C-alpha cells in the first residue's frame, strides 16, 4: 500500500510540475532569449520531469496490474518497461539534471537559472524539478527491486537519448540564434565539445552508480533472478 501511495504521489507531483510549468511559467522576452522556438521542450529539466511522470505512472500501473516477484516465470510487459526506463533513463538522467543544476547554480546561478526568472519560476517548482527528482529516485531505488538490462543495452538507450538531446540543442541554436543554456554561450566550440563529452561521461557514471547500488541493495534478489534466468535459458 505504501509503495502504491509513493508512486501515486510521484506521478501526481511531476505531472503537476509539468502542467504548471507549461501553462503558467511565461518567461518575458529579452535580448538574451528572443526566440521561443522549442518551447518548454528545449529544456532537459522539463523533458526529465515528463520522463519521471511517465515512469511513476508505469510504476503505479505495475503495482496494480503487474508483478513485483523477484523471479517471475514471465515478467509482464509493463514490468519489463518499468525496469528498463528506470535503469537506462530515469535514474541517470535525474542525477545528471539535479546534480549539474545545483552544481552550476552554486558557482554562478546566472549560467543556469538567472535571478530575473524568480518572478515567474516559483521556488516550489524549482525544487520539484531539481530536488525532488533526486529524492524520489533514490527512494525508488531503495524500495523497489528491478533487474538492470545488460550494460551494453542500457548504455545504448542512454547514449541515444543524450545524443538526440544534444542534436536538439543545436537545432534550436541554428534556428533561433540563441543557446538553450547561458553556459553554452560563454564557451568556445572546443570547450563546448569537451563539455558535451564530460557530460556524457558523467551520465555514464550515474548509470553505473545506479547499477552498483541496485546490486548492493538487492543482492539476494539479483542472485536469485540471475540463477532463475540461467536455468530458464538451458
- Count how many Cα atoms sit within 13 Å of the Cα of residue 27 in the half-sphere of its side chain: 19
Q: If you average pLDDT over residues 108-132, what whole number do you get?
A: 91
Q: Which domain holds residue 133?
A: 2-233
Residue position matching grid coordinates 553505473: 208
Asked if residue 33 has pLDDT above 70, the reply is no
Number of structural domains in the chain? 1
pLDDT, tens digit, for every residue of 72-98?
A: 446 788 888 999 999 999 999 999 999
Asked if residue 1 has pLDDT above 70, the reply is yes
pLDDT, tens digit, for every residue of 186-233?
A: 899 999 999 999 999 999 999 999 999 999 999 988 888 777 766 665
Q: If you average pLDDT over residues 141-152, what whole number do you get?
A: 92
The model's pTM is 0.91
What is the rounded average pLDDT for all residues in the chain? 90
pLDDT at 34: 47
Q: Which residue has the higher pLDDT, 18 or 222?
A: 18
Amino acid at each position: 500500500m505504501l509503495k502504491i501511495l509513493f508512486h501515486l504521489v510521484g506521478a501526481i507531483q511531476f505531472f503537476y510540475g509539468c502542467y504548471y510549468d507549461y501553462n503558467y511559467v511565461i518567461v518575458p522576452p529579452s535580448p538574451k532569449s528572443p526566440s521561443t522556438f522549442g518551447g518548454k521542450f528545449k529544456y532537459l529539466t522539463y523533458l526529465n520531469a515528463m520522463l519521471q511522470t511517465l515512469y511513476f505512472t508505469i510504476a503505479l500501473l505495475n503495482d496494480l496490474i503487474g508483478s513485483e516477484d523477484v523471479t517471475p516465470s514471465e515478467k509482464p510487459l509493463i514490468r519489463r518497461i518499468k525496469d528498463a526506463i528506470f535503469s537506462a533513463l530515469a535514474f541517470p538522467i535525474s542525477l545528471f539534471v539535479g546534480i549539474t543544476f545545483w552544481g552550476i547554480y552554486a558557482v554562478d546561478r546566472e549560467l543556469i537559472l538567472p535571478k530575473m526568472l524568480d518572478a515567474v519560476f516559483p521556488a516550489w517548482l524549482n525544487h520539484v524539478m531539481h530536488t525532488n527528482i533526486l529524492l524520489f529516485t533514490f527512494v525508488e531505488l531503495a524500495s523497489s527491486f528491478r533487474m538492470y538490462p545488460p550494460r551494453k543495452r542500457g548504455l545504448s538507450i542512454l547514449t541515444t537519448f543524450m545524443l538526440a538531446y544534444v542534436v536538439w540543442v543545436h537545432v534550436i541554436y541554428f534556428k533561433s540564434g540563441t543557446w538553450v543554456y547561458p553556459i553554452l554561450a560563454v564557451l568556445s566550440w572546443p570547450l563546448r565539445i569537451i563539455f558535451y563529452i564530460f557530460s556524457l561521461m558523467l551520465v555514464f557514471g550515474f548509470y553505473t552508480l545506479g547499477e552498483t547500488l541496485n546490486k548492493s541493495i538487492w543482492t539476494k534478489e539479483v542472485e536469485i533472478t540471475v540463477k532463475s534466468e540461467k536455468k530458464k535459458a538451458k
